[in-house]
Amino acid sequence: MSSLALGARAAVVSLAILAMFLAFWHLGTLGTGPGAVMDSEYAKLMGATATTGQSAMPGPSQVGHKLWEHLTNPFYDNGPNDKGIGIQLAYSLARVLAGYAIAVALALPLGFAIGMSPLIYQALDPFIQVLRPISPLAWMPLALYTIKDSGLSAIFVIFICSVWPMLLNTAFGVATVRREWLNVARTLEVGRFRLAFAVILPAAAPTIMTGMRISISIAWLVIVAAEMLVGGTGIGYFVWNEWNNLSITNVVIAILAIGVVGMILDQTLGRVARLVTYPE
């Protein structure tokens, strides 16, 4: 009952914060007085808002109206530079999930091996410490040169940024399984294969899932920057293309879409993490 009451109060506070934000946003985008005197060609480039004194930043109603247009027709395709936001998000999600899946396939077994073997840990640690701090985008020129495909290069960048949190969390989770549980399993003469999958994996699963949640968040952050560089399709390219078209309204909508999709990805893995978490 108290939890429900807390949730209801939190929802009311959230709605109040949202209403205040929208009100300040609306007030901040009202007219700023007489329009500026400027060259006619420059005024044409900047649009009507620059000559009428209105703010160039769209207000909540303009964004809401445009958002409704996108939601009612998210998958239109009018050529290479004019695709619906649904298509752009689908391209970005496909790249993120592809790179993320490759990272999972490598990071989990390798992290498991590192966590179970001090020899492998010490042998691989220098490579991990050198490669881990490198910005994923620093790999982009090398990927474009070697792979020679912008889409696959973006997937490679997602892979390289996703692999480290999963690898390190998996190794840490496996290495820190309670010694008592391992000793009991050895006393019962449990084989190594069964020990790994019946004792170590369930015990390390919450830590592994934490690494996977961090990885998916980083992957979704990086895809926007990667698509701005490689162009073509994706929500990152959509943001950059709309900026070049001086459509701030579409840029704001893209930012909202990026945030919502990122939240859905994180919450989805968060629910999976709760399934493998157990009380001690």
Q: How many CB atoms lie within 10 A of CB 190?
A: 15
Tens-place pLDDT, residues 50-87: 556 566 788 888 899 999 988 998 888 888 778 889 99
Closest-CA residue to 229 (of 163, 147, 153): 153
Q: Would you say residue 44 has pLDDT above 80?
A: no
Q: Which of 30-39, 125-134, 179-188 has the lowest mean pLDDT?
A: 30-39
Q: Which of 29-38, 116-125, 231-240, 266-275 has the lowest mean pLDDT?
A: 29-38
More confident residue, 5 or 101: 101
Output the pTM of the full model: 0.84
What value does the mean pLDDT of the chain take? Answer: 86
**What is the spatial distance between Cα 95 and Cα 219, in angstroms, rounded to a whole number?**
10
Backbone angles phi, psi at 26, to 5 degrees: -65, -45
How far is C-alpha 256 from the chain's CA centre? 13
